[in-house]
C-alpha cells in the first residue's frame, strides 16, 4: 500500500493534478474563514468592475494629508480627457471648418483646444448641420457626452463639500493636493472579481459555487461509481440470467443519450424541487453505465482465475469472494473511474445550469448557474463583464483538468502496458 | 468502390438538405438599400394573410392598438404612443362621433390606392368587417362586443357601436381601438378568397395568400428559412402630398431569422441589424465601452419610452391574500430601485421619479389624475420598518418565535412566480422574495415553465400561487381606462382562459362603477376625478403592485448604414416604435444613408 502510494506520488502528472485540485479545495475550505459575506447578498448595482471601492462619503470625513505629486495635474487631465477624446474634439472642429493647424492632443495644447472647443461646439448646431463624419445620432451623442464631461471637469477650481442644510451646514474645501490614506477611510470594499448582474461579490460567490459544484460532483461520482460497480460485479461474477437482465438495462441506458435524459428529467422536476442533492443523485443515476460495463468485463476475465476457483472450492460466500478475491484486482480501475465520474458530474451540472435547468437559483450558487446568469444578462455581449464568466470557466476547466491529470497519472502507474 | 459510394451518399445527403433549406431562393439584397430588423421574427413565416391567424409574419402582421405594423397592410389610423393621438392613414382627416357616442363617421383618403391601382373605398372597410364576422377571426372576436355594424354612408365609413342594456354604447374607446388595430383588406380580393374556399372559415383563415392585394409601402420579396424580405412598391399611394409626400427611404426590408436573443445581439453589434427590438442589458455599454455606432431614443436612462408596468398580482382566491395590510406591507418592503438597477439595468424611471398610480409615465397619462390627492398613499419602496409596523398593527405577528409571521395561527408562506427564462422578471421576483424575508413573511420565488405558467395565471380560480407577474395594457387609444379595467375589473373574476386582466380576481363594486363610467365621460374635470378615485382605490387596496416601468417595444439602432432615426426632442414627434409600429412608421421617411 505504502509502495503504491509512493509510486502514485512519483508520477508527475498525478502530482500536478493533485496539487491543483488541493489548491482549489483548500481555497474553498479556508476562504470563508477570512471573508464572512453572504455569497448571495447584493452589494453593488449590477456589474461592477473588479477593483477597490472607497466610500466617497467617508473619504470626505477622513483626515487629509498634503501630498505634492508633480504629475498630479497631468494625470487628472489624462483621466478626464483621454487622448482619443481630444482627437475626437479636433476631428469635429475640423469637420466644422475651424482652423485646427495649431492644435494637437498634447497636454501643452490642452488649453487652446478647450478654448476652441468651447467657442465652437453647440449641441443644436451639431444636430442641425450634421457635419461630415458626425451626422449619426451615435456620434452626436458622443459629442454631447464629451462636452458635458468638459464642463463638469474644470480642474482649476477648488471643490467644496457641504454637509447638512441651512445654518448647521459645515463646509469643507478640497484642494488638488489633498490626499486621504486608504486604510483610514471607514468604508471600502475590495472586489477582486467585481460583481455579477445581481451586484453580488463574484469572488465570494465563485468560491461558494466551486464548493457546491465539487459536492455535486462528489455525490454524483460516488453514486455513479457505486452503482456501476455493483451492477458490474453482479453481472460479471454471477452471470447467467442476472447478467442478461442487468446488461439489458445497461444497454437501454447506453442507447439513450445521457444528456438528453438528464434534460428531460430536470425539466420534468421543475425548479422548486431541484435541490443540490436531487441534482447530484440524478446525474449519478444516469451515468453509471460505462463503469458497469468495464467492471463487468474485467470481472468476467477474473472470474475463472485459479485463486477465485480455490475460494469457491473452499466454500466462501459470494460476498467474501467478491470483496476479497475480485475487488482488489479492479480497485485501481474503480478509483480512476471515480475520478472521471466526479469530473463529468461537475461538467454535467454546469451544462444543465447553463441551459437554465440547474438547481433552484435563489438558494445557492453553482458554477453553471453563475454562467447562466452571466449569459442572460449579456456579460459577454452587451454588458462586457468578463469577470462574471471568465473566472468561472477557468475554475471549471482547472477542476476537470486536474482530475483528468490525476486519472492519467494513476493510469500510468497501474496500467502495466503504459508503465515506463 | 465503397469509399466512392459513401462519398456519393454523403454528397446526396448534403445536397438534399440544402434543397430543403432553400425552399425559396434568396434574392439579391444590397446592404445600402436594405433596412434590417432584429427581434421581431422567430421561425420561418407561414403566410401573408391579413384576415388569417397564426401567419407568424412579424414584420408585417402585428396588429395591436398600441401600434399596428403598417408595412404591407394598413389601418385607418395610426396610434402615436408619444402623444396618445390618432393620425389618419387610409382615413382622411379626423373621425366624427355623434353626440351619444353611438355612431362614428370617417372619410377615406381619395389618394389611397391598392397595389393593383384601384382606389381604397368605404366598401373595403365594410367588407373587412363583414368577412371577419363571417369567418370569425381575431378581428371579429376582439371587436364584436363593441361594434354592431359598419356601413358605407355616401362614400364615408359609418361605424355603429353596440349598445348595452341601458341603450348606451358598450364602449366607445374600444371602437377607437378598431381604427388603429385592424388591417383593411380589398373587397374584391377578400371575396375572391372566400369564393376560392367556398366560404370555409378555417380554410380562409389559414390560406397563406402570398398574392394578397395590399395598400402599404412594401410587398413580399422572398422568404425562406433563414430570412424574410419585403420590397418597396414604387407606386405606393403614400407618396401623394396628402400623405407622406415621398417614398420610404429603404428599398428593401429584411429580417434574418436568428436562433435567440444572444444571436440577434451579436448580429446587431456587428452592424448586420439596423433596428433591434430586444431587451439589451446595459445597452449604454455598447457605445460607452465598445464604441459602437449604436443609439437609443434617449441617450441616457431609461433610454426608451416606458409605457407599461410589469406588475405583481396577489391571488385573492387564497384567504391570506385577502388581508389588505399584508398586501400593502409586502409592496412597501420591496426594493424597487434595486429591481430597476439590476433587473432592468436602469432602463426604467424609478418610483421616485414617477410615483406609482394606475398611469404609465407618459405626460399624457400623468396629467389625467390629481397628484396631490394621492400623494400620501404612494410608496417608494424599501420601507421595511413601515411594513413591519403595518403588519404588527394588523395583528400579523410572529407568535412562535421562528422568525416568520403567522396568520390565524399558521405560518404565512407565499409562492411568487413568473415564467422561467424571463430574465428581468425572474430577477424582480427574487427581490420580492428578499423583501418578504426582511419583514418576516416567507416568500418563495419559483419559476415554472411558460407552458405551465400560462395555464395557471389565466385560470378562473387557482390556489397554487399567491403572487405572480403579468403586465396590464401599455399605450393604446383606450388607455389608461383599459389599464384600470385590467387591474381591477371584477368582470374577469372566475373567467377561465382569461388573458385580459384582473388575474388576481379582486372585487370592488365602486371600481366596477368607475370602469363603466369612464368610457362614457367626456368632461375632462369629471374624467380626472374618476381617474383620481381609481388611483386612490388601487393604492389603498393594493390588489397588485407595479415592479418597474418598461417599454412595450424596445428600440435600439445601429447607425452603420442608415441614420436619421427618431430621437427625443428632435421635433418630429415620431415614437421609437421600430420604424414600423403605428405612427412610428413615419421614421422610414426620414432615414438617410450614413455615407
> What ipTM goes with this model?
0.78
pLDDT (tens digit per residue) in B500-525: 889 999 999 999 999 989 988 888 89
| E strand or H helix at B87 | strand B85-88
Using a CB-CB distance cutoff of 8 angstroms, which residues of chain A are in contact with residue B565?
137
Cα A75 to chain centroid distance, Å, stands at 34
Residue A9 has pLDDT above 80, yes or no: yes
Find the closest chain B residue to A373 by CA distance: B423
**What pLDDT, on the 0 to 100 scale, is given for residue A131?**
86
- Cell digits of residue B355: 410615483
Length of chain B: 595
> Who's near A67: CB < 8 A, 6+ residues apart?
A177, A179
- Domains annotated for chain A, with CATH where assigned, are 2-43+202-418 (1.10.3720.10), 66-188 (no CATH)
A247 contact partners, CB below 8 Å, separation of at least 6:
A235, A293, A296
Hey, of A82, A88, A137, which one would you mutate to test binding to chain B, going by the most B CBs within 10 A of its CB? A137
A372 backbone dihedrals φ, ψ, rounded to 5°: -60, -50
Write out residues 539-578 of B within 8 Å (CB-CB) of A: 557, 559, 563, 565, 567, 570
List residues of chain A with CB under 8 Å from any CB of chain B. Answer: 42, 45-47, 127, 135-139, 141-142, 144-145, 197-199, 267, 270-272, 356, 361-362, 375-378, 381-384
Residues of B in contact with A378 (CB under 8 A): 262, 265, 280-282
State yes or no: pLDDT of B1 exceeds 80: no
B261 → chain A, closest CA residue: A376
Asked if B345 and A377 come within 8 Å (Cβ–Cβ), the reply is: yes
Calpha distance A192→A203 (Å, rounded) = 7
Q: Give the DSSP per-residue string, B166-226.
A: TSSBS-HHHHHHHHHH-----HHHHHHHHHHTTT-HHHHHH---TT----SSEEEEEE-SS
Give the contacts of A393 (CB within 8 A, at least 6 positions apart). A371
A to B CB pairs, distance under 8 Å: 98
Nearest Cα neighbor of B218 from B234, B232, B239, B235 is B232
Contact between chains at A384 and B285 (C-beta distance less than 8 A):
yes
Rounded CA separation B349/B355 (Å): 10
Of A136, A197, A381, the CB nearest to B342: A197
Nearest to A382 among B265, B447, B567 (CB): B265
Cβ of residue B590 closer than 8 Å to a chain A Cβ: no
Percent of chain A with pLDDT over 70: 96
Helix (H), strand (E) at residue B337: helix B336-338
* pLDDT tens readout for residues A283-325: 998 889 989 999 999 999 888 889 889 998 998 988 899 888 8
Q: What is the pLDDT of residues A52-83, one digit of tens each?
A: 999 988 988 888 898 888 888 778 878 888 88
Residues A314-357 have pLDDT tens digits of: 989 888 998 888 988 888 889 999 999 999 999 999 988 888 77
Distance CA A280, CA A342 (A): 10
Residue A2 has a pLDDT of 83
Contact status of B334 with chain A (Cβ, < 8 Å) = no
Residues A138, B292: C-beta atoms closer than 8 Å: yes
CB B563 within 8 A of CB B591: yes
* HEC letters along chain A: CHHHHHHHHHCHHHHHHHHHHHHHHHHHHHHHHHCCCCCCCECCCCCCCCEEEECHHHHHHCCCEECCCCCHHHHHHHHHCCHHHHHHHHHHHHHHCCCCCCCCCCCCCHHHHHHHHHHHCCHHHHHHHCCCCCCCHHHHHHHHHHHHHHHHCCCCCCEEEEECCHHHCEEEEECCCEECCHHHCCCEEEECCCECCCCEEHHHHHHHHHHHHHHHHHHHHHHHHHHHHHHHHHHHHHCHHHHHHHHHHHHHHHHCCHHHHHHHHHHHHCHHHCCHHHHHHHHHHCCCHHHHHHHHHHHHHHHCCHHHHHHHHCCCCHHHHHHHHHHHHHHHHHHHHHHHHHHHHHHHHHHHHHCCCCCCCCCCCCHHHHHHHHHHCCCCCCCCCHHHCHHHHHHHHHHHHHHHHHHHHHHHHHCHHHCC
Q: Do B299 and A144 touch (CB under 8 A)?
A: yes
Give which of B281, B421, B424, B561 to mutate to test A binding, by max A Cβ within 10 Å: B281
Alpha helices in B480-595 (DSSP H): 481-488, 509-517, 524-541
| Tens digit of each residue's pLDDT (9 = 90 or more) over B293-343 | 999 999 888 898 888 899 999 999 999 999 999 999 999 999 999 888 888
Q: What pLDDT does B20 receive? A: 53
Average pLDDT over residues A138-157: 81
Q: For all residues of chain A together, what is the average pLDDT? A: 87
More confident residue, A153 or A166: A166
Q: Which residue of A lies nearest to B267 if distances are taken between CA atoms?
A: A381
CA distance A121 to chain B (A): 18
Give the per-residue SS3 of B347-378. Answer: CCCCCCCCCCCCCCCCHHHHCCCCHHHHHHHC
**Measured between beta carbons, which residues in chain B are less than 8 angstroms from residue A127?**
570
Chain B residues whose beta carbon lies within 8 Å of the beta carbon of residue A47: 282
∠ CA B24-B273-B581, nearest 5°, is 90
Q: Is the pLDDT of residue B66 over 80?
A: no
User: Which pLDDT tens digit goes with each residue over A97-129?
Assistant: 888 888 888 888 888 888 888 888 888 888 888
Mean pLDDT of chain B: 90
Does A197 sit within 8 Å of B285, measured CB to CB? no
What pLDDT digit, counting tens, does each position of B363-384 carry?
A: 888 889 999 999 999 998 999 9
Amino acid at each position: 500500500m505504502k509502495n503504491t502510494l509512493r509510486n502514485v506520488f512519483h508520477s508527475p502528472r498525478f502530482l500536478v493534478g493533485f496539487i491543483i485540485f488541493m489548491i482549489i479545495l483548500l481555497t474553498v475550505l479556508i476562504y470563508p474563514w477570512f471573508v464572512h459575506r453572504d455569497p448571495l447578498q447584493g452589494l453593488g448595482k449590477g456589474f461592477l468592475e473588479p477593483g477597490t471601492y472607497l466610500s466617497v462619503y467617508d473619504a470626505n470625513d477622513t483626515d487629509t494629508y498634503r501630498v505634492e505629486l508633480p504629475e498630479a495635474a497631468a494625470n487628472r487631465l489624462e483621466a478626464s480627457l483621454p487622448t482619443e477624446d481630444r482627437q475626437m474634439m479636433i476631428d469635429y472642429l475640423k469637420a466644422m471648418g475651424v482652423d485646427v493647424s495649431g492644435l494637437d492632443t498634447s497636454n501643452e495644447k490642452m488649453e487652446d483646444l478647450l478654448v476652441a472647443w468651447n467657442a465652437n461646439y453647440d449641441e443644436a448646431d451639431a444636430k442641425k448641420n450634421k457635419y461630415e463624419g458626425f451626422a449619426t445620432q451615435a456620434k452626436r451623442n458622443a459629442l454631447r457626452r464629451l462636452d458635458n464631461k468638459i464642463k463638469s471637469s474644470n480642474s482649476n477650481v477648488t471643490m467644496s463639500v457641504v454637509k447638512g442644510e441651512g445654518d448647521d451646514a459645515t463646509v469643507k474645501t478640497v484642494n488638488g493636493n489633498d490626499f486621504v490614506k486608504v486604510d483610514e477611510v471607514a468604508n471600502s470594499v475590495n472586489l477582486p472579481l467585481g460583481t455579477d448582474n445581481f451586484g453580488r461579490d463574484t469572488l465570494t460567490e465563485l468560491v461558494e459555487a466551486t464548493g457546491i459544484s465539487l459536492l455535486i460532483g462528489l455525490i454524483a461520482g460516488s453514486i455513479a461509481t457505486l452503482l456501476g460497480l455493483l451492477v458490474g460485479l453482479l453481472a460479471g461474477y454471477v452471470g447467467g440470467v442476472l447478467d442478461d437482465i442487468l446488461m439489458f438495462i445497461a444497454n437501454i441506458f447506453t442507447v439513450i443519450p445521457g444528456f438528453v435524459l438528464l434534460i428531460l428529467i430536470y425539466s420534468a422536476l421543475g425548479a422548486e424541487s431541484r435541490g443540490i442533492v436531487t441534482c447530484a443523485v440524478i446525474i449519478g443515476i444516469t451515468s453509471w453505465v460505462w463503469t458497469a460495463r468495464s467492471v463487468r468485463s474485467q470481472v468476467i476475465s477474473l472470474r475463472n482465475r485459479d485463486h477465485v476457483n480455490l475460494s469457491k472450492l473452499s466454500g466462501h460466500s459470494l460476498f467474501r469472494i467478491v470483496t476479497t478475491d475480485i475487488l482488489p484486482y479492479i480497485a485501481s480501475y474503480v478509483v480512476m473511474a471515480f475520478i472521471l465520474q466526479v469530473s463529468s458530474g461537475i461538467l454535467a451540472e454546469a451544462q444543465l445550469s447553463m441551459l437554465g435547468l440547474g438547481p433552484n437559483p435563489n438558494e445557492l450558487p453553482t458554477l453553471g448557474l453563475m454562467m447562466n446568469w452571466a449569459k442572460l444578462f449579456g456579460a459577454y455581449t452587451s454588458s462586457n463583464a468578463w469577470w462574471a464568466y471568465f473566472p468561472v470557466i477557468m475554475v471549471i476547466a482547472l477542476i476537470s483538468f486536474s482530475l483528468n491529470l490525476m486519472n492519467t497519472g494513476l493510469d500510468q502507474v497501474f496500467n502495466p502496458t503504459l508503465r515506463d | 468502390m465503397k469509399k466512392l459510394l459513401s462519398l456519393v451518399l454523403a454528397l446526396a445527403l448534403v445536397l438534399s438538405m440544402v434543397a430543403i433549406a432553400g425552399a425559396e431562393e434568396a434574392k439579391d439584397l444590397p446592404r445600402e438599400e436594405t433596412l434590417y430588423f432584429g427581434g421581431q421574427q422567430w421561425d420561418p413565416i407561414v403566410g401573408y394573410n391579413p384576415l388569417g391567424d397564426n401567419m407568424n409574419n412579424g414584420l408585417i402582421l402585428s396588429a395591436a392598438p398600441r401600434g399596428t405594423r403598417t408595412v404591407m397592410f394598413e389601418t385607418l389610423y395610426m396610434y402615436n404612443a408619444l402623444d396618445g393621438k390618432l393620425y389618419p392613414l387610409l382615413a382622411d382627416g379626423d373621425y366624427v362621433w355623434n353626440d351619444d357616442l353611438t355612431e362614428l363617421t370617417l372619410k377615406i383618403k381619395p389618394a389611397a390606392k391598392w397595389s393593383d391601382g384601384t382606389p381604397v373605398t368605404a366598401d373595403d372597410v365594410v367588407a373587412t368587417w363583414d368577412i371577419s364576422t363571417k369567418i370569425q377571426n381575431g378581428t371579429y372576436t376582439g371587436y364584436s362586443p363593441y361594434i354592431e355594424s359598419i356601413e358605407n354612408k355616401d362614400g364615408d365609413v359609418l361605424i355603429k357601436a353596440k349598445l348595452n342594456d341601458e341603450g348606451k354604447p358598450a364602449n366607445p374607446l374600444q371602437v377607437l381601438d378598431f381604427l388603429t388595430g385592424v388591417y383593411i383588406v380589398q373587397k374584391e380580393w377578400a371575396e375572391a378568397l372566400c369564393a376560392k374556399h367556398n366560404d370555409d372559415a378555417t380554410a380562409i383563415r389559414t390560406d397563406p395568400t402570398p398574392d394578397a392585394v395590399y395598400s402599404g409601402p412594401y410587398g413580399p420579396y422572398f422568404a425562406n428559412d433563414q430570412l424574410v424580405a419585403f420590397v418597396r412598391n414604387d407606386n405606393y399611394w403614400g407618396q401623394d402630398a396628402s400623405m407622406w409626400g415621398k417614398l420610404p427611404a429603404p428599398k428593401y426590408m429584411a429580417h434574418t431569422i436568428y436562433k435567440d436573443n444572444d444571436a440577434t445581439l451579436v448580429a446587431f453589434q456587428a452592424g448586420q441589424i439596423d433596428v433591434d427590438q430586444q431587451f439589451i442589458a446595459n445597452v449604454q455599454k455598447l457605445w460607452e465601452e465598445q464604441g459602437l455606432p449604436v443609439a437609443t431614443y434617449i441617450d441616457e436612462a431609461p433610454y426608451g419610452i416606458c409605457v407599461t408596468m410589469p406588475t405583481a398580482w396577489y391571488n385573492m382566491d387564497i384567504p391570506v391574500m385577502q388581508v389588505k395590510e399584508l398586501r400593502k406591507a409586502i409592496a412597501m418592503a420591496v426594493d424597487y430601485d434595486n429591481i430597476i438597477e439590476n433587473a432592468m439595468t436602469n432602463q426604467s424611471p424609478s418610483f421616485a421619479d414617477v410615483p406609482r398610480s394606475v398611469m404609465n409615465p407618459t405626460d399624457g397619462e400623468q396629467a389625467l389624475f390629481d397628484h396631490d390627492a394621492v400623494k400620501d398613499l404612494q410608496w417608494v419602496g424599501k420601507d421595511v420598518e413601515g411594513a413591519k409596523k403595518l403588519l404588527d398593527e394588523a395583528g400579523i405577528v410572529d407568535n412562535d418565535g421562528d422568525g416568520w409571521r403567522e396568520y390565524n395561527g399558521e405560518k404565512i408562506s407565499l409562492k411568487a412566480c413568473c415564467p422561467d427564462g424571463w430574465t428581468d422578471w425572474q430577477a424582480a421576483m427574487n427581490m420580492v422574495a428578499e423583501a418578504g424575508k426582511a419583514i418576516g413573511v416567507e416568500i418563495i420565488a419559483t419559476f415554472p415553465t411558460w407552458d405551465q405558467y400560462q395555464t395557471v395565471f389565466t385560470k378562473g380560480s387557482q390556489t397554487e400561487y399567491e403572487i405572480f407577474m403579468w403586465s396590464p395594457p401599455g399605450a393604446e387609444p383606450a388607455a389608461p381606462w383599459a389599464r384600470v379595467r385590467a387591474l381591477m375589473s371584477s368582470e374577469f373574476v372566475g373567467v377561465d382562459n382569461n388573458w385580459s386582466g384582473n388575474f388576481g380576481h379582486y372585487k370592488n363594486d365602486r371600481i366596477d362603477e368607475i370602469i363603466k363610467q369612464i368610457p362614457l365621460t367626456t368632461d375632462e374635470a369629471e374624467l380626472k376625478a374618476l381617474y383620481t378615485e381609481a388611483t386612490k382605490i388601487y393604492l389603498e387596496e393594493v390588489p397588485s403592485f407595479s415592479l418597474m416601468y418598461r417599454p412595450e417595444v424596445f428600440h435600439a439602432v445601429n447607425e452603420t448604414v442608415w441614420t436619421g432615426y427618431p430621437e427625443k426632442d428632435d421635433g418630429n414627434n415620431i415614437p421609437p416604435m421600430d420604424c414600423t409600429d403605428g405612427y412610428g412608421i413615419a421614421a422610414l421617411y426620414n432615414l438617410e444613408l450614413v455615407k
